[in-house]
Every structure is written in structure tokens, then in C-alpha cells.
């Protein structure tokens, strides 16, 4: 009996050893397998030295992925680059949102595209963003996004003038002899697009000739980019507009409003400031003579317009794209707050 018992125990031990060894072997096999990284599903990510061609690729991807984004153009730049318009929503009330107005402010183009992607994805997934009901809002309003109004200027800040052999002397003179074009604000003809609108264009101070900044051009809307934006604004009868610029972490909202309009616009501006925690520029700090897009909109239509400046402090060259997610987080719900209140 003892011998049989010992033999049975040995047999059981062998069986247990084989099972455990097999399990360990399988575990070791699994642990040695290479881990597959999960791909980032976001199309809009920080890109250094961002330019028009990169934006174009991103827009194509957004259009292919999201049926709720409508892509068209509102015209062409001087260098025949498309001025893209991305539309989101089905509401009667239009909100115009524009970025990339100045050459060195390409971060605002990325920011707008990231906001579009966020809204389109959550709308497709039937999800709210924080306490905002996207379906409800986008049945009430339509967003008209122009992510890059100044593709030529952005190309100059990104790649310099290496492709502008014929006009090299023109650009060097406009850039005060410097071969560093990172500070370039103007469009491809040396005109500042944010000094192009007939608010108080005649009285606005300006450089006398094409310049990397602050030349208002020969007349209001002399440039195809500013003309295209003005035409879109009129045709779509926007209820309000937002122009993204950099920098300062501030919001401009005032342009000589009075009475009821002043009170309404100021009240709305405070709500936007509460969303992104940016400082409101007071009437005393604001220009009363200007030719910017939001200035013209306020004066022409008697409706609220806003310039939102992202990024701390002042900068004379493009902000690093690594801050994209920060600016997105700060401004993610600003446009939704605006839509909720018009």
C-alpha cells in the first residue's frame, strides 16, 4: 500500500509540474511579444514650422473622417493658395471664426482646426462637451471657420523667401533688410490684413510702403484675402465673429459701442473671459481708431465682435506649436459659450 501511495503522489506531482511549467512557458511567450502602441486618433497635433500644405493635408483628413464638416473655399490668396472655409452646424445664426490673419500667428490656424475636430468628433459620438449640448447648439447656430486667412504670409514665416527669386529684393526691403522672416506679419504683398477693413481706415496710422508689419495697403480691402473675408461676412450675415491672434491672453471686445449695445457686448465679453480666464481689455485700453476685422464688424453691423489673443506676453515670432494643447484647453468652450448666448 505504501508503495502504491508513493507512486500515486509522484504521478500527481509530475502532472502538476508539467501544467505549471506549461503555464509559465505560455506567460513567458506573451511577455516577450512586442507591445503594440495605440495610435493617437487625433488628426490635429502640434507641428513645428506649420504651413499651408500641412494644413491642407489636415483638412482633407478631417473632411474624410467627419461627415458633419463641410469644406469649401472663399477665394484665393495672392499666390493662388486656397482660403479654406470649414462649416459645422445647421442653425440659422452664423458665427464667423478666423485665424492665421498674421503670418507669424500660425498657431491660431492649428488651434481653430483642433477646435473643429473636437466639436465634430463629439457631435458624431453624440456627446456633450462639459455642460454644453452640442446637438442643441449646432441646430441653433452654424460655425464658419476660416483657419488660415493669410497662407502666403505664413509660408514666408515658415520657409522664408527661397521660392521668391523674382521678388527677393521686394521682400528684403519690406523686411528692413533682414533675411530673418520669422517676424513677418503681412500677406504676400506686404499688407497687414488686420488693417484692411473700413472701420476708420483713413485715419489709421500706417507704414508708407509694403512692410513686414503695419502697412494698411493702398485702400480698404485691396487684398484678395480681406475682400474674401468681408464678402463672406456679409453673405452669411454673421451674428458675431471671433478673430484669433497671438499674444497676451487677452480679449478685445470694444470699438466705440454706446448705450444698450455697449452693455450687451460687455456682458457677453465677461462671459467669454470667464471661460478662458483671459483678461478683458477695457475701453480705455482699446483703440478708438482702427481697421481690424472685429472693429469693422462692430461698427458696420452693430453686433458683438471679439479678438482673442492666445499666449502670454508679447512675441515677435511664431509661438511654439508645443503649446497648442494648452491654448486648446483654455479656449475649448469659448465658442460654445458664444453660441449659447447669441
One pLDDT digit (tens) per residue for the chain, 342 residues = 444 444 445 444 444 444 344 344 443 443 343 333 334 589 999 999 999 999 999 999 999 999 999 999 999 999 999 999 999 999 999 999 999 999 999 999 999 999 999 999 999 999 999 999 999 999 999 999 999 999 999 999 999 998 776 789 999 999 999 999 999 999 999 999 999 999 999 999 999 999 999 999 999 999 999 999 999 999 999 999 999 999 999 999 999 999 999 999 999 999 999 999 999 999 999 999 999 999 999 999 999 999 999 999 888 899 999 999 999 999 999 999 999 999
Residue 166: predicted pLDDT = 76
Q: What are the Cα distances from residue 234, in Å, to 94, 102, 267, 285, 297?
A: 11, 22, 25, 29, 10
The answer to whether residues 99 and 108 touch, using CB atoms and an 8 Å cutoff, is yes
User: Distance between CA 73 and CA 176 in Å, rounded?
Assistant: 34
CA angle 178, 183, 186 (to 5 degrees): 100
Q: Which residue has the cell 495672392?
A: 78
Sequence-ordered list of residues with C-beta below 8 angstroms from that of 325, at least 6 positions apart, any chain: 46
- At 40 the pLDDT is 52
Q: Which helix H or strand E contains 300, and what residues bound it?
A: helix 293-301
Q: Write the pLDDT tens digit of every residue in 200-216.
A: 999 999 999 999 999 99
Cell 452664423 found at: 94
Pick from 221, 177, 205: nearest CA to 288 = 205
Give the cell for residue 231: 464678402
Q: What is the enclosing helix (H) or strand (E) of 93?
A: strand 93-98
Cα separation of 323 and 100, whole Å? 16
* φ and ψ of 308, to 5 deg: -110, 120
| Closest to 324 in 3D by CA, of 190, 191, 147 | 147
Structural domains of the chain, ranges and CATH numbers in brackets: 53-156+184-341 (3.40.630.10)
Amino acid at each position: 500500500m505504501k508503495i502504491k501511495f508513493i507512486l500515486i503522489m509522484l504521478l500527481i506531482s509530475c502532472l502538476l509540474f508539467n501544467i505549471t511549467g506549461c503555464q509559465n512557458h505560455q506567460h513567458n511567450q506573451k511577455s516577450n511579444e512586442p507591445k503594440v502602441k495605440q495610435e493617437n486618433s487625433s488628426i490635429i497635433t502640434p507641428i513645428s514650422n506649420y504651413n499651408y500644405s500641412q494644413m491642407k493635408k489636415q483638412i482633407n483628413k478631417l473632411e474624410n473622417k467627419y461627415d458633419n464638416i463641410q469644406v469649401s473655399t472663399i477665394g484665393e490668396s495672392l499666390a493662388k493658395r486656397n482660403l479654406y472655409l470649414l462649416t459645422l452646424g445647421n442653425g440659422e445664426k452664423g458665427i464667423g471664426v478666423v485665424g492665421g490673419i498674421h503670418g507669424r500667428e500660425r498657431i491660431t490656424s492649428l488651434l481653430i482646426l483642433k477646435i473643429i475636430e473636437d466639436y465634430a468628433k463629439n457631435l458624431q459620438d453624440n456627446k456633450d462637451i462639459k455642460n454644453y449640448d452640442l446637438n442643441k447648439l449646432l441646430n441653433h447656430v452654424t460655425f464658419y471657420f476660416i483657419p488660415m486667412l493669410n497662407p502666403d504670409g505664413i509660408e514666408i514665416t515658415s520657409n522664408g523667401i527661397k521660392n521668391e527669386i523674382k521678388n527677393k529684393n521686394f521682400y528684403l526691403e519690406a523686411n528692413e533688410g533682414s533675411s530673418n522672416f520669422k517676424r513677418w506679419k503681412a500677406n504676400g504683398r506686404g499688407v497687414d490684413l488686420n488693417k484692411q477693413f473700413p472701420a476708420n481706415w483713413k485715419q489709421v496710422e500706417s507704414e508708407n510702403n509694403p512692410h513686414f508689419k503695419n502697412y494698411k495697403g493702398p485702400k480698404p480691402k485691396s487684398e484678395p484675402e480681406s475682400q474674401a473675408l468681408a464678402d463672406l461676412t456679409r453673405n452669411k450675415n454673421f451674428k458675431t465673429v471671433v478673430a484669433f491672434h497671438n499674444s497676451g491672453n487677452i480679449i478685445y471686445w470694444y470699438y466705440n459701442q454706446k448705450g444698450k449695445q455697449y452693455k450687451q457686448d460687455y456682458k457677453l465679453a465677461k462671459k467669454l473671459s470667464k471661460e478662458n480666464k483671459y483678461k478683458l481689455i477695457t475701453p480705455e485700453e482699446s483703440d478708438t481708431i482702427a481697421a481690424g476685422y472685429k472693429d469693422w464688424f462692430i461698427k458696420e453691423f452693430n453686433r458683438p465682435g471679439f479678438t482673442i489673443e492666445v499666449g502670454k506676453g508679447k512675441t515677435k515670432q511664431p509661438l511654439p506649436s508645443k503649446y497648442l494643447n494648452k491654448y486648446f484647453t483654455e479656449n475649448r468652450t469659448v465658442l460654445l459659450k458664444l453660441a449659447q448666448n447669441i
